[in-house]
Every structure is written in C-alpha cells, then in structure tokens.
C-alpha cells in the first residue's frame, strides 16, 4: 500500500521551498518533488538585489540553498523526481512521478515557469553549441567573444550586463522600440560601454548549424525589412518563460497562456468550482509579478491554506 501523505509540493524554487518551510514547521512532513529544474529560476540567477533582508544582495543559488536547509531543518524531505501524471478525480489525490506513485491529501503546485525559445530550427539545433537561455550557466564559455542577447525585459538586461564580465561585446536585440525592462536596468545597459542596443530587430536564423557552432546571426530590421549578418559566437535568449502547468490541463483551470488560474492568489478551480486541497503558488500562477519575494509570499499562503484544509478535513 502506498502511504498517503499530508502534503506534496511540486517544485523546489522560491515558492515551493517557502511552502516547504511553513508546512514542515506545522509538522506536516512535506515531500518536495524537485522537478526538472531543481531550485527553479533563482538557482540559475546571479546576484539578487531586491530580496528583502540582504542589503548587499545574495547570489540566487545561495538563497535557494539556504531555503532548502531551512525547510529540511523542520523535517521537509526532497526527492529528485518530477511529475509524470496526476489524477485529481480520486481522493486522496494520486501522482505518478519518475520515482513511483504517491498519494496525498493536499497538493501545492509550485512548478514555476521555464525559459522560452524563439522556436527557430537553427536555434534549436544549436542549443548547447553557442545558443543558451542561461547566462549564469554558460557565460563563462564566451570569454573575450562577441555575443548577442535577445529580449527587452529585465531578464535580457540582467543577462546582457552579466555577460559583459566575459564577452568583449554584447549586442542586445529587441523586436520593438519600446522596452519592458525597468528604468534602472535599462539605464545600466545603455550606459555600459560594451553593450550595443539594437531595437526593432529580430533574429531570422542562427548561422553555423552545419559546423555545430554558432557562427553568426541573420537579423532583420522590422522597420525596413533589411537583413544583415551579426558575427557572434553566442546567442542568449532572455525572452521570458512558459508556465509548467500542462499536466493539469482539464483538471485545473488554466488561463489562455497556460498559467494556473487562482482565486485569492492560491486557490485552484475547475470550471470555476474549487478543487479542494490543491493550491498553486509562484510563477506557475503569476503572470504579473513573477518576483522571488512574491513567489515566496504565495508559497507561504499556499502552505497556510494546506494547514487550514487539513484541520477542517481531519482524517
């Protein structure tokens, strides 16, 4: 017989780990399935300057590691596994994971969001051969090289700035003339001597597929349709993220972009009716704020609702 757990947390980013700290402290012995990207987006971020309590900033991986230790201290357990399928039509809920079946009375979905790609065949063919979505992971390989970053939001600005530590020149390509990034980040990018901003520009093709290494980019200026070649050896994508909620389609309401719809931040629904004991937190349900601190906040809320649910539905 599979043991029925009080609560299972899907995802080990900021939201999942905060939920783990709270549910563990409440004595619920949460099991955290670490998922495909253990530690979530913070684990591939560099300096986090806006998480309250760290006046000098803290490295993303260190922040995540601290949260994990904190949750473990109160009895949370972690499994390097991911969800394969879920059945919310039976109770206790049944999860098929890469490490076997799990039954649980409550579920906290904190599966976050994953990096988005342009979707060009040449880009896909060169992932890991000069094309990357993670500057902190791969920037090191571009010491002294010229590279490009795509995107007009804070992620792209952060990547471009970080990559100047290695690259001799960073060209930031954005498809429009207006930028989504915050003013402070955009100002830093514009003031940087090794970053060139090219607005109204899209990548049409990544060159070098036959050689299995990035040789350059074919670009198009969207204002006049003129094409040009940018000779770079690396391409970094900073164009946002996709929510990891596909496995819940049909069992939990998702919005038109695939984010989990929530009521009062963390309550899930199906056809507008509550799905009892299933809560969502962090980026998988937040297309608006998507900050470490908001993810942590909603992780806390989900955990408190789990406690309340289990009290009200004593077994």
Residues involved in catalysis: 134, 137-138
Calpha distance 265→302 (Å, rounded): 8
Instruction: Tell the smallest beta-carbon distance from residue 154 to ligand NAP (Å).
Output: 4
Closest to ligand NAP by CB, 118 or 270 = 118
CA 188, 199, 193, 129 torsion-angle sign: positive
Closest to ligand NAP by CB, 8 or 239 = 239
- DSSP secondary structure code for residue 227 in this structure: E
- For the beta carbon of residue 130, count every other beta carbon within 10 angstroms: 23
Instruction: Tell the smallest beta-carbon distance from residue 2 to ligand NAP (Å).
Output: 38
Closest to ligand NAP by CB, 175 or 218 = 175
- For the beta carbon of residue 75, count every other beta carbon within 10 angstroms: 15
Residue 242, φ and ψ in degrees, nearest 5: -110, 135
Instruction: Tell the smallest beta-carbon distance from residue 48 to ligand NAP (Å).
Output: 7
Q: Kindly write down the DSSP assignment for every residue of 255-308, as one continuous string.
A: -TTSPBPEETTTEEEETTEEEEEEEE-GGGG-SS---HHHHHHHHHHHHHHHHH
In order of 68, 74, 208, 216, 237, the CA distances from 131 in angstroms are 30, 40, 11, 11, 8
Instruction: Tell the smallest beta-carbon distance from residue 174 to ligand NAP (Å).
Output: 6
Closest CA to 242 of 64, 73, 75, 117: 117
* In the block, residue with structure tokens 């900073």: 238
Closest to ligand NAP by CB, 112 or 151 = 151
Instruction: Tell the smallest beta-carbon distance from residue 255 to ligand NAP (Å).
Output: 15
To the nearest 10 degrees (0 to 180), the angle between helices 14-25 and 292-312 is 40
In the complex, which residues of this chain contact ligand NAP (CB under 6 A)? 50, 116, 118, 150-156, 158, 175-176, 180, 182, 238-240, 290
Closest to ligand NAP by CB, 46 or 79 = 46
């Amino acid at each position: 017989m599979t043991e029925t757990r009080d609560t299972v947390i899907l995802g080990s980013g900021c939201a999942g780990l905060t939920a783990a700290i709270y549910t563990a402290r409440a004595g619920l012995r949460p099991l955290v399935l670490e998922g495909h990207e253990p530690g979530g987006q913070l684990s591939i971020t560099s300096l986090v300057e806006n998480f309250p309590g760290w006046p000098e900033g803290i490295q993303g991986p260190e922040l995540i590691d601290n949260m994990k230790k904190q949750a473990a201290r109160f009895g949370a357990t972690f499994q390097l596994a991911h969800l394969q399928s879920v059945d919310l039509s039976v109770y206790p809920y049944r999860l098929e994971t890469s490490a076997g079946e799990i039954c649980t009375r409550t579920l906290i979905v904190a599966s976050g969001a994953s990096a988005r790609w342009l979707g060009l065949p040449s880009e896909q063919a060169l992932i890991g051969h000069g094309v990357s979505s993670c500057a902190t992971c791969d920037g090191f390989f571009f010491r002294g090289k010229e590279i490009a970053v795509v995107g007009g939001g804070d992620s792209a600005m952060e990547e471009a700035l970080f990559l100047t530590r290695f690259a001799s020149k960073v060209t930031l390509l954005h498809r429009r003339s207006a930028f989504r990034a915050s003013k402070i980040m955009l100002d830093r990018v514009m003031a940087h001597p090794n970053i060139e901003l090219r607005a109204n520009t899209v990548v049409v093709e990544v060159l070098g597929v036959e050689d299995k290494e990035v040789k350059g980019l074919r670009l198009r200026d969207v204002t006049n349709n003129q094409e040009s070649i940018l000779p770079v050896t690396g391409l970094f994508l900073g164009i946002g993220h996709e929510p990891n909620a596909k496995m819940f389609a049909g069992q939990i309401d998702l919005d038109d972009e695939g984010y989990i719809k929530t009521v009062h931040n963390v309550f899930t629904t199906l056809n507008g009716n509550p799905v009892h004991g299933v809560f969502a937190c962090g980026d998988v349900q937040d297309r608006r704020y998507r900050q470490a601190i908001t993810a942590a906040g909603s992780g806390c809320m989900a955990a408190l609702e789990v406690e309340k649910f289990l009290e009200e539905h004593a077994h």
